[in-house]
Amino acid sequence: MGYKFTEEQKDIQAMVRDFTKKEVEPRGREMDQNGWCHELYQKYIETGLQSTPIPEEYGGAGLGDVECAIITHELAKGDAGFAMAMEISWVCTDMILKHGSEAQKQKYLSGVVDGGLFAFCLTEPGAGSDAAGLRTRAKKQADGSYVINGSKAWITNSGIADYYVIMAVTDPEKGANGISAFIVDKGTPGLIVDAEEDKMGMRSSDTHGLTFDDLKVPAQALLDKEGMGFKMAMEGLDGGRVSCTAISTGIAEHALDIAKNYALERVAFGKPIAKHQAVAFKIADMAMYIEAMKLMLYDVAEMKASGIRCSVQAAEAKLFAASHTTTICLDAIQILGGNGYSKEYNVERLMRDNKLMEIGEGTNEVQRIVISGAILKK
């Protein structure tokens, strides 16, 4: 691989790889059936990994985007839904680091170090990839507080979160520039968690809709200033797309590992099926695309860590990794034959999990809009 990890990054990679093998991967099938595993999250907190991007002055490790990408990548090899739950919380802490007041940083960043989880509340029933089409309203009151009404859909961590970053319209006349962000604690009156979604994949992650019924929040809940929400959301999507690349790459490596081991053991027509060119070539293609994914992943993570705007590169990496991982999972199923169609061998779960990576944080089609728009810009 072209990207060279530092010794510290190699140590983090080895630590997370060991944790994933011992704690995450053995629970994968169970979580696919039963959903979020609180016991696993408690074990994760004990490692201190949740504090990776939090500055040292707030109790964290003070590390950056490359280290977060390593952690997400390695966790996703064991269970993609768990990896996604962790990275979503980091999307919110990144917003607070860049835009929060000192009081907000003291409370919420320290809260994440202590094991608190965030939910990022952007998507609505009528506003998915069209993030500027939000209908949730936050009306400012005479005392400076805000009352929020509306709903959100497909919100990761929403049933287990300690804190919520909610995007809402404060000035409908300004379009995208009229969207603001608010930090809300769990249990605030008017914050209603709807029924859990029965999803195709990523079933280990906790996903609900949310309803805001006269949700009153103080002026101090506003993140940065009015009208900054859409900018923060777009910054968050850049980071989210890097994380999606890491998740797809982890899924792809898991699928390749299953397919390779099976092909070396399964005998057909007098020899292991790995010796048949049709199978060997599929495995060669899997390995080739995975190497390219890793190069793109750590290149864009380093760009983000260096403060370089990486919207196009993040879109390219996410699109490449998500689409090729779906193909890799389907090829792995094909190599396993009938066993690939069985839940026992896990590759069907990997395919179901990865499908979200072609939809969430902007669909494949939206990534192509971002990429083509940059190329064709005059």
Residue 133: predicted pLDDT: 86
Indicate if 265 and 371 belong to the same structural domain: yes
The per-residue pLDDT for range 207-229, each reduced to its tens digit, is 999 999 999 999 999 999 999 99
Residue 93: predicted pLDDT: 96
Question: For residue 236, what are the β-bridge partners?
Answer: none
Indicate if 260 and 203 belong to the same structural domain: no
Indicate if 207 and 316 belong to the same structural domain: no
If you count DSSP H runs as helices and E runs as strands, how many of each does the chain have, helices first?
12, 10
The per-residue pLDDT for range 49-91, each reduced to its tens digit, is 999 999 999 999 999 999 999 999 999 999 999 999 999 999 9
Indicate if 112 and 124 belong to the same structural domain: no
What value does the mean pLDDT take over residues 96-104? Answer: 97
Indicate if 240 and 355 belong to the same structural domain: yes
Domain end residue (candidates: 181, 209, 227): 227
Query: Residue 85: which CATH number?
Result: 1.10.540.10
Does residue 214 lie in a domain region? yes
Indicate if 222 and 246 belong to the same structural domain: no
Tally the C-alpha atoms within 13 A of residue 194's C-alpha that lie toward its C-beta: 17
Indicate if 156 and 248 belong to the same structural domain: no
- Alpha-carbon distance of 123 to 340, in angstroms, equals 34
361 is catalytic: yes
- Alpha-carbon distance of 196 to 193, in angstroms, equals 8
The per-residue pLDDT for range 221-278, each reduced to its tens digit, is 999 999 999 999 999 889 999 999 999 999 999 999 999 999 999 999 999 999 999 9
CA distances to 76, 90, 163 from 82, rounded to whole Å, are 7, 13, 18
Domain end residue (candidates: 68, 92, 117): 117
Residue 66: predicted pLDDT: 97
Residue 130: predicted pLDDT: 74
Query: Residue 154: which CATH number?
Result: 2.40.110.10
Residue 132: predicted pLDDT: 76
Does residue 334 lie in a domain region? yes
The per-residue pLDDT for range 339-359, each reduced to its tens digit, is 999 999 999 999 999 999 999
Residue 126: predicted pLDDT: 86
What value does the mean pLDDT take over residues 198-210? Answer: 97
Domain count along the chain: 3
Q: Is the pLDDT of residue 1 over 60?
A: no
Domain end residue (candidates: 98, 117, 136): 117
Q: Is the pLDDT of residue 163 over 60?
A: yes
Split at pLDDT 50, 70, 90, the class of 151 is very high
The closest alpha carbon to 210, from 170, 246, 166, belongs to 166
Split at pLDDT 50, 70, 90, the class of 2 is low
Indicate if 158 and 111 belong to the same structural domain: no
Question: For residue 169, what are the β-bridge partners?
Answer: 137, 179
The closest alpha carbon to 54, from 131, 119, 110, belongs to 110
Residue 114: predicted pLDDT: 96
Does residue 325 lie in a domain region? yes
For the chain, the average pLDDT equals: 96
Q: Annotated catalytic residue: which of 39, 102, 361, 365?
A: 361
Query: Residue 356: which CATH number?
Result: 1.20.140.10
Percent of the chain at pLDDT exceeding 70: 99
Q: Is the pLDDT of residue 378 over 90?
A: no
Give the E-state strand segments of the chain in sequence order. Answer: 118-121, 137-140, 146-156, 163-169, 179-185, 191-196, 207-217, 222-223, 267-268, 271-272
Indicate if 105 and 205 belong to the same structural domain: no
Indicate if 68 and 171 belong to the same structural domain: no
Domain interval for residue 241: 231-376
